[in-house]
Structure 1
Amino acid sequence: MSGTTISTPLDGGFGGRVDQVVDRAIGDGRIVGAMILVARRGEILYSRAAGLADRETNKPMTADAIFRLSSVTKPVVATAALTLVEANVIRLDDPISKYIPEFRPKLADGSEPVITIRQLLTHTAGLSYGFRQPADGPYHRAGVSDGLDQPGLSMADNLDRIASLPLSYVPGTGWGYSVAMDVLGEVMARATGVSLPELVDRLVVQPLGMHDASFAVRDRSRLVTPYADGPGKAVAMGSYHRVPFADGFIAFSPGRVFDPASFASGGTGMNGTASDVLKLLEALRSGGSPVINPETAAAMTTDAIPGIETTMPGWGWGLGFGVLRDPLAASTPQTAGTWRWGGVYGHSWFVDPALDLTVVVLTNTAIAGMVGAFPDALRDAIYGRQV
């Protein structure tokens, strides 16, 4: 880390450094609004609602603002799935065909491999995401939804489209971020005979008091307006909005959340507040109570795919999110064993268990709030890293 200095994480000046990062991003127009929470051992050391929930009406961001959580949904649904594993309703090594017999994707050679629940949780099932493919890639041609667009699309139709395409690799032999959590959500619903939204509410949301976490929006007046990266400042999303990402694009339909016919996406479909997210992460950090037992929480937050490389240098994957293997390779001041992820509507979060540190950053700006200069600078400000 040549040229880098490290001071004590969460030293007396960290709040001022975070403020500078946030003020700069909002002043430059790259981020419209954000809600940020930093906690240590459960104590909130920094809390700020910054910028605007709606720029056009000059509506300020508030601490209880509701965000479209996108992939911040994943740890919630993964936790719910693991409660079902603990109850012996499902098992990690069960083939998913046991629950969704019609979902039988094949390899390019026509053979039909077994896909397990564990492989869905670890994104080693051979599936993909449309946004990880070029604009003319197979998922786009088949009309597969990443769970963010196509209001009114049913789960049955989306599963048919996914299963019609060849798997990217033999399940268990590689890693690819994917629609696996959507498939897992359907497994959970089939295994219990209860809808995914009801399951998640019963198993995770209610026990943890995540009052606004839901697949629906319980108070539209608190739902933030979504924005997207623009050529200069962020631009308001339309009813259908494409945002360039990697070699392709991410397709957003913000109104999807208001269409009850839209399938409940286990990977991207929930809404909630920063406080809701913090409650889940703190529960997992402190051993999983009252939703899962300590052994399950430990398995969830430990690298579950040793020997398999992800597309993120230095990062492995647990049962629901990334786990840091090598801070140097990842170019991060976080401690090895840190777990984190984000959401394409503009979110990032991480837990550094060695420091008992939990950080939640929800913004209304895709993609700048999730990856790139803003979340990296915010992380470095918390750790006191200056490059």
Structure 2
Amino acid sequence: MKKLFVSITTVIVLFAALSCCNQKINPGVPSVLKESSPESAGMSSQRLARLDRLIQSSIDSGRTAGAVGFIARDGKIIYYKAFGVSDLDAGIPMKKDNIFRIASQTKAIVSIAAMMLFEEGKFLLDDPVSKFIPEFKNPQVIDKFNPDDTTYTTIPARREITIRDLFTHTSGIDYAGIGSPVMKAIYAKYDIPAAFGTDKMILGDKMRALGKLPLAHQPGERFTYGLNIDLLGYLVEIWSGESLDEYLRKHVFEPLGMNDTYFYLPENKHARLVKVNTEGPDGKVKSLIPQDVINYPLMKGTYFSGGAGLSSTVYDYAVFLQMLLNNGEYNGQRLLSRRTVELITSNQIGDLSLGYDKFGLGFEITTERGQTVLGVSEGSFAWGGYFGTTYWADPEERIVAMIFCQQVPFSHSGEIQGKFKVLVYQALND
């Protein structure tokens, strides 16, 4: 009898131990990001110095003017450095807390905001968009287009577009600025904004107008990067009863302490905004003049672009990503459940692909084949921004990393960002 009691006790203890080991959130991860030595996080200081040389050589060779690089592992900030200048003409040194136009990195934040409302029961992923915005009822798909006068004919869509289609860019909605020539012409004709809008536009007005225009293809047929998350941002307004700006401020930025993330910067933070550069025919960086169109963060605007409108710092965005690595919680503030984070970071596009990778609810997801390219772990989630910013979060290695620049066009961005990823993983020391 005594042996039986010992055996049962042993089983209970082992079960409890295994249960602890299977916890999704690493109990050793700090509740907030804190600076620490690379070695304390299983990384090599000596090998991380290669990142310094990579970024500095890009600046010295004239390929970019400045950058901020960041790596955290297990919630420990082990690399956080500024290089070059934030203003090429004035020669102002880049600082770690400079503010960058994060453009399409806005999409992840708005996607998370929408999923917070999903958790409140405001919608289901396969609800039709027309359930909430009647203008999207009975969608049409472009059939024939006359470039001479921009007239077109359409055919009925086989089904309505769903909320899931917006998250995954499979709705058939294109971009007005960087989309196909046909859809750009149609959107321009009806004054659909390219991405950022102007200071006097209203998000709801433009999204309802978008609902009356044809789709580029049948819903669910393929991945087409477009104004989907702008539309999702308008749905956040409908579901919450608040402007997108208000909702993000109250429910995402303030709880996470993201104090430098805005659609339109307050005047006391204008000086921290990095100037956008361009490149000459020789591929060398030069000042972009004029800056008026891309200085939308300095406006007092009313158009809140859920797909591209935010500006932020490297640190603020790292907090946002760390919250996701913590399965929806940061510094005692829970935004999402663990299960919802798993849903967000799982393949949502079936057999469709982005190169080797898949797409979740707002993020590109690294696949088994995709991890063979740069060494980023399978299951990592990532994206970037039009002006030369990129990020990724790696649940397997517990890494948050990013490098931010401000340049368009930026023909060297793929090389610099790709090498940055390689050099992060070569510094692992455990």
Inter-CA distance 76–58: structure 2 relative to 1 (3 Å threshold) = same
Aligned-partner Cα distance in 1 for 2:409–2:319: 24
Alignment-derived partner of residue 169 in structure 1: 217
TM-score scaled to structure 1, two decimals?
0.87
Aligned-partner Cα distance in 2 for 1:150–1:125: 25
Alignment-derived partner of residue 205 in structure 1: 253
Secondary structure at the aligned position of 1:354 is classed as coil
Alignment-derived partner of residue 6 in structure 1: none
Aligned-partner Cα distance in 2 for 1:237–1:103: 39
Inter-CA distance 117–369: structure 2 relative to 1 (3 Å threshold) = farther
Higher mean alpha-carbon deviation, 95-104 vs 193-202, is at 95-104
Alignment-derived partner of residue 276 in structure 1: 316
Residues 161-189 of structure 1 deviation map (CA, whole Å, 9 limit, x = unaligned) = 63454312221232111110000001111
Residues 239-293 of structure 1 deviation map (CA, whole Å, 9 limit, x = unaligned) = 479xxxxxxxxxxx21223333452100101111100000000000111112111
- Of 90, 110, 117, the match for 1:57: 90
Residues 32-76 of structure 1 deviation map (CA, whole Å, 9 limit, x = unaligned) = 111111010110111101111111111111111111110111111
Inter-CA distance 147–330: structure 2 relative to 1 (3 Å threshold) = farther
Superposition deviation, residue 227 in structure 1: 1.3
Alignment-derived partner of residue 264 in structure 1: 304
Alignment-derived partner of residue 274 in structure 2: 224
- Of 288, 291, 307, the match for 1:237: 288
Number of equivalent positions: 363
Q: Is the 8 A contact 2:371 2:378 kept in 1?
A: no
Q: 5+ residue gaps in structure 1?
A: 1-8, 242-252
Aligned-partner Cα distance in 2 for 1:163–1:268: 19
Inter-CA distance 239–161: structure 2 relative to 1 (3 Å threshold) = farther
Alignment-derived partner of residue 123 in structure 1: 169
Secondary structure at the aligned position of 1:365 is classed as coil
Aligned-partner Cα distance in 1 for 2:163–2:235: 8
Alignment-derived partner of residue 114 in structure 1: 160
2:187 aligned with 1:142: yes
Superposition deviation, residue 307 in structure 1: 1.3
Inter-CA distance 288–181: structure 2 relative to 1 (3 Å threshold) = same
Larger C-alpha radius of gyration, 1 or 2? 2
Task: Report the AA paired with residue 173 of structure 2.
Answer: L
Superposition deviation, residue 125 in structure 1: 1.0
Aligned-partner Cα distance in 1 for 2:302–2:420: 34
Aligned-partner Cα distance in 1 for 2:373–2:357: 11
Inter-CA distance 165–19: structure 2 relative to 1 (3 Å threshold) = same
Aligned-partner Cα distance in 2 for 1:367–1:379: 21
Alignment-derived partner of residue 78 in structure 2: 45
Identity of aligned residues (%): 28
TM-score scaled to structure 2, two decimals?
0.79
Residues 285-331 of structure 1 deviation map (CA, whole Å, 9 limit, x = unaligned) = 11111211111111111222221223xx1110011110011345862
Secondary structure at the aligned position of 2:396 is classed as helix
What CA RMSD, in Å, does the superposition of the two structures yield over aligned residues?
2.3
Task: Report the AA paired with residue 269 of structure 1.
Answer: G
Aligned-partner Cα distance in 2 for 1:380–1:367: 23
Q: 5+ residue gaps in structure 2?
A: 1-41, 143-153
Aligned-partner Cα distance in 1 for 2:356–2:173: 22
- Of 88, 96, 118, the match for 2:129: 96
Secondary structure at the aligned position of 2:254 is classed as helix
Secondary structure at the aligned position of 2:223 is classed as coil
2:422 aligned with 1:380: yes
Alignment-derived partner of residue 57 in structure 2: 24
Aligned-partner Cα distance in 1 for 2:47–2:224: 35
Superposition deviation, residue 116 in structure 1: 1.3
Q: Is the 8 A contact 1:33 1:365 kept in 2?
A: no
Q: Which has the higher contact order (CA 8 A, sep 6+)?
A: 1
